Amino acid sequence: MQDVPSTNTDLSLARGRLSNLVWRLPSLRVWVIAGLVAGLSVVVTLLLKGDGSSAPAPEVVSATRHPGAVSHLPPFITPPGSTDILLAIMAVVLVGAVFAIGVFFFWLHSLPERMVHKSTKVHFDIVAVLALLSLFTHVHLFWVAALLLALVKIPDFSMPYLSQTLNRITVSLERIADAQTTTSGTDRSGNSEPSG
């Protein structure tokens, strides 16, 4: 009769896989730093006026303001001829966001490969090929299959007993071959043959 695995071991294995997945996520410190940088950029954007100073001179603002404009313009409206600080900050944020999304995409894409990194070579190769196929073909089903295979432990189908036996046979044959080469180099009396 075949042993049925208990659900307790399956549950502990699933918990272990889940904790391994959570361990690979960025730490809380990374998220806090990213939030502080985003908040600081918003505060700087709101505090700066269009010409880069915190409070432009009233005569410059009144001289360049259209007569039909209201007197309480938002701080991101720039006077003519000055640098648009909000545009510069948003350009930096856009480039940073594109890089961050790209890094996150490749980090998430390599997740199945990192999960099976310490598994058998065949298991790792299958998951790596599926992940590469999903990257180059944009068929996300390959990535899902790679993730599912990474979560399932594939048994080792190699025959360790046979490989150990073949290894012992190989070592024995090498010893016999070495013994025959050393005895053929000496004559029967034990003296070495003259080389020449």
| pLDDT tens, residue by residue, 64-75 | 667 777 777 777
Range(s) of the domain holding residue 130: 118-179
- Total domains in the fold of the chain: 2
Mean pLDDT of 27-44: 79
Pair 154, 120: CB distance under 8 Å: yes
Neighbour tally for 116: CB within 10 Å: 21
* In a domain? residue 196: no
Same domain, 47 and 130: no
Measured distance between the N- and C-terminal CA atoms of the chain, rounded to whole angstroms:
72
Report how far residue 155's alpha carbon sits from residue 164's, in angstroms, rounded to the nearest whole number: 18
Between 89 and 27, the higher pLDDT residue: 89
Mean pLDDT of 167-191: 80
Neighbour tally for 97: CB within 10 Å: 12
